Structures are given as structure tokens and as C-alpha cells.
Chain A
């Protein structure tokens, strides 16, 4: 286990370095000048040149790369080119918002998706199966920004149960108000994925000999399904949850924008539009770190779900 972790963390460092280097190069290849964005339409070429110097963008690329890399190792990710505030500070302010939205959405997705998938599998080719399959297909094909607008019109405008600006905090009630609709929006999409995977994994497991044996020796149906079959169907479900967690953070961009929640997604879109190189670099470190950590956590969970899996 220890050796496994060390090895995986070693790979993580190499992955981080590769991503950092790639991002450093890519953001500078993309057309668009941060100095121009900061100074606006009316700035003349001299003012833009002065701003580029001030931002350190006129230094040789290799020098900029060295400054960036050594800074990143020291934990200094510089300041945002646009707002002048430290990158790490800007990211840390919004990171909890994205993490909590992702986790709550994931929990909603699991809470709805797993039972629904199991229910569909044990009722294969009957009405519950058809309904579940159609519902999950709808969930998969619905763009998150459309479902977000529908949820807002229904619950915030017509019923007035929740606010449109989902960014409240400070009390449990405010937190719940701010979290409910965005988490439901993302959670339902995730539930659609999990339902389909859970259904097919369960269908496969239900054909196994040990399930037949358990039924033959008189184990109650409920125990067969939830203990014997589901536990063995967990590996593909964990895989999809792990994979989708990375996608979920990406999907949160539109949800954050429509529900007006702070978050990494909104930050990265703003940084991209404004060509905020330092901010983009910092964001990519965080994204990579999250994906790497989720992958490690997924691998560890395999061993928990199935004792036959050996981590080495």
C-alpha cells in the first residue's frame, strides 16, 4: 500500500510538471495580449509596451518559464495579471465552492443513480426498466445550462422557493438555498450516468454462478441483490464516479455561471477571456492536482470494495 502510494505520487509530480509546462507554452501561443485586455481599447502602443514590461511579459520565454517554475515549487504562483491579487488567494477563495458543489452533486448522483440502476436491472425489460432507461437517456442528453434555466424558472421565479443568485452562505438555511438547485442540476446528470453503469454492471453480475447459488440455498432476494450482487458490481460504478468527478468539475463551469455561484469554472473562463496567464497556470495546477488525487482515491477504493484487488 505504502509503495503503491509513493509510486503514484511520483507519477503525480511528473504529470504536474508536464501539465505546467504545457499550459505555460499553450497560453502564450494563443493569440490575445493581456496588456491590451487590461488597458482597453484606447491605450496606445507605447502604453501597451510599458504594461507588458510591468507584467514581465517582454522577458525571454525561457526566463519567464524559469521564474514561473521556481515560483511554483516555492508555492508562489504570482499575482493575477488582471486584478493584481495573488493567484493562490483567488483560487483558495473559490475552491471550496467548487469542491462542495462537486461533492454534493456526486452524493446526489450516487443516491439516485445506484438504486435506480439496481431497480432497472432486477426488472429487466419491464416497465421500471424502460422508464429508468428513458429517464437516464434524457439526463445524459440534456445540456446542463438548459436544465439550469428550467430549474431557475420553476423553483426561483414561479415557486419562489430558492434564490436565482445561488451564492448565499453564513447559515445552514442560506447554504441549503444556495446549494439545492446547482447540486440538483449536476447531480441529476451524474445520476443518469451512474444509473446506466449500475444497471449494466448489475445485469452482468446477476448472471453469475454465485448469485444463482445464493438464491438456490434460500438467501433472501433483498440480500442477494444488495449484498452479493451489488458489491460485485461496484468496481465499474466506482470507476465511472471517479472518472465523472473530473468531468463534473469541468461541467460545473456552466452551472456556476447560470446559478451565479463562485467557483473554479467561472474563474477559468474569466482568466481565459482576459488572457490572465498566471491565473490560468495556477488553475491548471489545481485541476491537475484534483484529477490526480481523485484517480488515486479511486484506486484505493477498488481495494476497499473488492478484497481481491491488490495495490502494488
Chain B
């Protein structure tokens, strides 16, 4: 008995004494809201947990300046410089010399870039192959030159060769040697951090790349912990076990974190826009007046207040604000309850109308739809919500089963992407080329197509503006609110740039990122 007591006492003492030594911190521990990062191949992974992690290991030919979102901040990455022909069909990139692939796979050359872009363009090896349909050929005239020839000009060639989705550059020798499955277990890039270890359900460990072409990182290691429970992540952060974490999209969370000493909370872009897509192919939503009545019943300011003033903002158009080509002063139908009721009566529904929506059970999305339901009720519009689990939601809305689809998304910040995926007839759900056009909208096809190959920037912007106005006039969808991505980190962490946005949804960790104490 005495012996057992001594062992227990020793264990407890060991526990209490096992506190970390106070030394200059060089290990960054990040908490992510998931139990896994998915397949660790940048050309296949489109989820937030995977993108944020892969972003620290890979480079593109170009990149958007860390902390920014707009393509106007495009700067060199693996390519030192680039030029394009006047018609926008030929692009030549000059690679920097001496950039090394991780784990001794040699220098990154034009051969790797050609291989990587071909890999991203193949539907066998990439989830983003459709981004590269305009590619005619990719060549390597010499060791440090990459030449891309397009079938037709596209709005942002740089957007698909940057460190995002298919534009992440993989090293040819590693990808071929490891095979598709092997590469996903040991991804090899050129970024500031290298893959080291993956422990299912616990963490992924990255270590500093001593040969990084921008210089050896100041941090030695990143421990990327998978913590799906919001409460546990908050508590772990509060206990000092995490240095940085993804937050939950709630104003209350921001207020709680701001109250903690030594914590910095950032609401960063890209904002995910909540849009109500109205299925114009089904009654009563095939009636323009009913759609207009719904639009007039939505009070964007009330929703803004409801979702949180600091973490969201009202939508400005059918394309999120800040994208290249967004009409920031688009003629959205204003909140007007009387007009909404009048339109409903004119449409032949003086006693109101009932519409149905299939909605995900994800709390933040469901609460938005419930708030919308309450707003619509005041205009005599009954929104019946059928909540289903998230994967089911994604399948059923693509089967055209929902009259109203609440979809929350951010895209590459060029209007073409949002307009094409949500409002071009090619993207209508249940068609072979379907993406996410839930409204069956096809009023702006001509403008969207013309803008894509327009090389005159002013004309291109004008075409996108016209497309947005047409979609708004037909009320294919009602843009309501934009939600920011929320992160919290210790104020002793100096990211090395000002964090305003990150296309890969996780704060970039650079070679200059360090702890100040």
C-alpha cells in the first residue's frame, strides 16, 4: 500500500514538474478545427485544414504578398519575373536559380514547373483540372524558363500559377518516385517548412527548411494540431498549449478572446459570402415578382447585427466585395417590407407564400437561415427549413432538390470565378459541367464569356459590372452577408507581415515569422 502510494506521488510530482523550460520559443503550435488534414497533396486538397498546412510547404511561380488578398499584390515566388504577349495568350516566366526541393530532391527547375502544371491540369491527379482548360501547352525552353501558351486569354493566368490550389509547385522527381499515394504521405515542395511527421488525429509536424531560397526560417518547427472541438481548442489556447488557432465564427468568441491578456484576434479575408440562391426553374420562384418580394424582405443590416459587427459585413453585390471586378455599388434591392408584400400580392400570393430549403446543420449556417426565416415571415413568406447533415446537404443541393439554397463561399478574388461557378448556365446543377449554379441563372452568360477573354481591363470590368447588374435585376440570388475568417494568436508571435487576408485560409508562416519572447 505504502509502495503504491509512493509511486502515485512520484507520478503526480513528475506531472507537476513537467513544465516547459523558459527558453526562446521556436516551435509554433497551431490548433485546427478538424480531426485530420485530408490528403496531403496540394493538387487534391481543397479543405481549409489541408490548404492552411500545405501553404507552408509549397510555393507557386508567383504569390500574393503575404497578408493580402487582391491579385494586385502579386509578386515573384519561384519565378523572378514574367512577361506576357499583348493578346494575353503567351506567358514566359523566368525562374530563380538555386531554389531547392525538400529532402534533397535537387534544384527546382523549369522541368519541375512544367511537370507540376501538367499534373494540376490532369483530372486524374488534380481536383482543379478545370482551372487549366485554357492551357494549350507548357514548355521549358531552358532550365530556368517556363513558357505557357493558352488557347484563349483568361482573366487571371497568374491566379492559377500562384501558391494556391493547382498552382502549388511540386517537385517532379519526388512526385514520380513516391507515386500519387506516396507523395500524399510525404509531400515535397520548396517552401520554408518541410514535412516531417503525420500522426493521425493528433498532429502534422513540419520542420524548418534550412535551404529555403528566401533564407533559413527563424522558427524551427510547426506543430499543427487537429482539435475538432471548439471548446477544447479554446481551452488549450487559454492554457498556453497552442500559440495560434482557428476561431469559431461568432462575435461572442471574438469578445471572449479579446478579453484574454496577450492575445491578438484577427478577422481576416477572404470573407465567405452568404447568398440565398433562388431556384428560378421551379414555381413559385419562377415568378420574378416573388423573387423580388423575397429580396425586399431581407434586411442586410439586421443580419449584419445578428452575425456580428466585427466579424461580418453586408454584401455589396452578387460577387463578394474586394474581388477584381466586383461592382461595389451594385443596385441590390433594398429592404422594404411594404414593397415586398405588395409584390407578393401582385404575383398572386396576397396571403403569403411557402418555399422550402434544404440546409446544412452546421451551426453558423443554420442560424443564418433561421434568422432569414424570421425576416421573411414578416413579409408573409414562410421558409420551411429541412436541416440535413453537411455531406447530405452538399449532395442534395446538387441534385436540384432545394428551392432556396443558402451557400456560403469565398473564391479566388476575380469576379470571373464567382460569376462562372454560380451564375453561368454551364455550371447549372445536374448537368455534365455542373458546379454550383443552383438558381439556373443564365441571363449573363454572354457578358461572363466575353469578359473572360477581354484583354482591355476597363472593358473587362465593365462587362463584369453588366453581368452583376443583370443577375441582380433577375434576382437569381440574394447576396446577404460576408463572414470573415477568425484567428487568434499570442501577441508574442511576430508573423513578419500584417495579416489582413490569406487565400489559403490559414495565416502564412514565413521564414521571418518568429516569437519575440
Interface residue ranges, A against B (CB under 8 Å): 30-33, 36-47, 50-51, 54, 79, 82-85, 90, 93-94, 149, 152-153, 156-157, 160-165, 167, 171-174, 176-177, 180, 257-260, 262-263, 266-267, 269-270, 273-275
| Cβ proximity bits B108-128 to A, threshold 8 Å, 1 near / 0 not | 000000000000000110011
Q: With contacts A37-B394, A83-B38 known, is A93 near B200, CB below 8 A?
A: yes
A167 touches B427 (CB 8 A): no
A258 touches B231 (CB 8 A): yes
B202 touches A50 (CB 8 A): no
The residues of B that contact A164 with a CB separation of less than 8 Å are 232, 235-236, 239, 241
Report the minimal beta-carbon distance from B79 to chain A, rounded to whole angstroms. Answer: 25
Cα distance A45–B434 in the bound complex, in angstroms: 5
Is B184 in the interface zone, CB < 8 Å from A? yes
Apart from A54-B124, A83-B39, A172-B14: 20 A-B pairs, beta carbons within 8 A: A31-B392, A33-B391, A38-B127, A41-B436, A42-B46, A43-B130, A44-B433, A44-B434, A45-B431, A90-B200, A152-B232, A163-B241, A165-B227, A167-B202, A177-B18, A257-B229, A258-B231, A260-B232, A262-B199, A267-B201
Q: With contacts A46-B123, A260-B236 known, is A40 near B129, CB below 8 A?
A: no
Cα distance A90–B185 in the bound complex, in angstroms: 13
The residues of A that contact B282 with a CB separation of less than 8 Å are none
Report the minimal beta-carbon distance from B170 to chain A, rounded to whole angstroms. Answer: 16
B18 touches A174 (CB 8 A): yes
* 11 contacts across the A-B interface (CB closer than 8 A): A32-B389, A40-B127, A41-B46, A44-B434, A45-B431, A46-B123, A46-B130, A47-B129, A257-B232, A260-B229, A270-B201
Cα distance A274–B35 in the bound complex, in angstroms: 11
**Chain B interface residue bracket vs A:** 35 or more
Cα distance A54–B129 in the bound complex, in angstroms: 15
A165 touches B395 (CB 8 A): no
B127 touches A39 (CB 8 A): yes
The residues of B that contact A47 with a CB separation of less than 8 Å are 123, 127, 129-130
Is B218 in the interface zone, CB < 8 Å from A? no
Report the minimal beta-carbon distance from A226 to chain B, rounded to whole angstroms. Answer: 17
What residue in chain B is nearest A177 (Cβ atoms)?
Answer: B15
Q: With contacts A82-B38, A84-B39, A260-B227 known, is A157 near B238, CB below 8 A?
A: yes
Is B94 in the interface zone, CB < 8 Å from A? no
Is B334 in the interface zone, CB < 8 Å from A? no
Q: With contacts A174-B18, A262-B200 known, is A42 near B394, CB below 8 A?
A: no
A46 touches B395 (CB 8 A): no
The residues of A that contact B433 with a CB separation of less than 8 Å are 44-46
The residues of B that contact A180 with a CB separation of less than 8 Å are 15
Q: Which residues 122-166 of B sit at the A interface, judged by CB distance below 8 A?
A: 123-124, 127-130
What residue in chain A is nearest B431 (Cβ atoms)?
Answer: A45
| Selected contact of A173 from candidates B18, B241, B389, B391, CB within 8 Å | B18
Cα distance A30–B15 in the bound complex, in angstroms: 45
B15 touches A273 (CB 8 A): no
Q: With contacts A50-B123, A165-B227 known, is A84 near B11, CB below 8 A?
A: no
Is B435 in the interface zone, CB < 8 Å from A? yes
The residues of A that contact B238 with a CB separation of less than 8 Å are 157
Cα distance A36–B436 in the bound complex, in angstroms: 12
Q: With contacts A40-B46, A262-B200 known, is A157 near B235, CB below 8 A?
A: yes
| Cβ proximity bits B37-65 to A, threshold 8 Å, 1 near / 0 not | 01100001011000000000000000000
Cα distance A258–B228 in the bound complex, in angstroms: 8
Q: Which residues 465-504 of B sit at the A interface, judged by CB distance below 8 A?
A: none
A44 touches B427 (CB 8 A): yes
Q: Which residues 212-238 of B sit at the A interface, judged by CB distance below 8 A?
A: 225, 227-229, 231-232, 235-236, 238
Report the minimal beta-carbon distance from A76 to chain B, rounded to whole angstroms. Answer: 15
Cα distance A153–B238 in the bound complex, in angstroms: 10
A262 touches B185 (CB 8 A): no
The residues of A that contact B46 with a CB separation of less than 8 Å are 39-43
A152 touches B200 (CB 8 A): no
A42 touches B411 (CB 8 A): yes
| Selected contact of A161 from candidates B16, B36, B38, B227, CB within 8 Å | B16
The residues of A that contact B241 with a CB separation of less than 8 Å are 163-165
| Selected contact of B392 from candidates A32, A40, A262, A263, CB within 8 Å | A32
Cα distance A266–B232 in the bound complex, in angstroms: 14
Cα distance A199–B394 in the bound complex, in angstroms: 51
Cα distance A54–B44 in the bound complex, in angstroms: 13
B201 touches A38 (CB 8 A): no
B236 touches A79 (CB 8 A): no
Cα distance A82–B24 in the bound complex, in angstroms: 38
B228 touches A257 (CB 8 A): yes
What residue in chain A is nearest B391 (Cβ atoms)?
Answer: A32
| Cβ proximity bits B379-420 to A, threshold 8 Å, 1 near / 0 not | 000000000111110111010000000000101000000000
Q: With contacts A50-B124, A163-B241 known, is A44 near B435, CB below 8 A?
A: yes
Is B421 in the interface zone, CB < 8 Å from A? yes
Q: Which 7 A-B pairs have the closest CB atoms?
A: A40-B46, A32-B391, A173-B14, A262-B201, A164-B236, A45-B434, A31-B392
The residues of A that contact B363 with a CB separation of less than 8 Å are none
What residue in chain A is nearest B131 (Cβ atoms)?
Answer: A42
The residues of B that contact A41 with a CB separation of less than 8 Å are 46, 394, 409, 436
| Selected contact of B15 from candidates A43, A152, A162, A269, CB within 8 Å | A162
| Cβ proximity bits B429-441 to A, threshold 8 Å, 1 near / 0 not | 0011111100000
| Selected contact of B181 from candidates A79, A167, A267, CB within 8 Å | A79
A172 touches B239 (CB 8 A): no
The residues of A that contact B391 with a CB separation of less than 8 Å are 31-33, 36-37, 273-275
B36 touches A82 (CB 8 A): yes
Cα distance A165–B232 in the bound complex, in angstroms: 8
The residues of B that contact A36 with a CB separation of less than 8 Å are 391, 394-395, 398
Report the minimal beta-carbon distance from A113 to chain B, rounded to whole angstroms. Answer: 20
What residue in chain B is nearest A50 (Cβ atoms)?
Answer: B123
| Selected contact of A266 from candidates B35, B39, B123, B436, CB within 8 Å | B35
A45 touches B432 (CB 8 A): yes
| Selected contact of A43 from candidates B36, B127, B390, CB within 8 Å | B127
Cα distance A257–B11 in the bound complex, in angstroms: 25
A32 touches B394 (CB 8 A): yes
The residues of A that contact B228 with a CB separation of less than 8 Å are 257, 266, 270
What residue in chain A is nearest B411 (Cβ atoms)?
Answer: A42
What residue in chain B is nearest A39 (Cβ atoms)?
Answer: B127
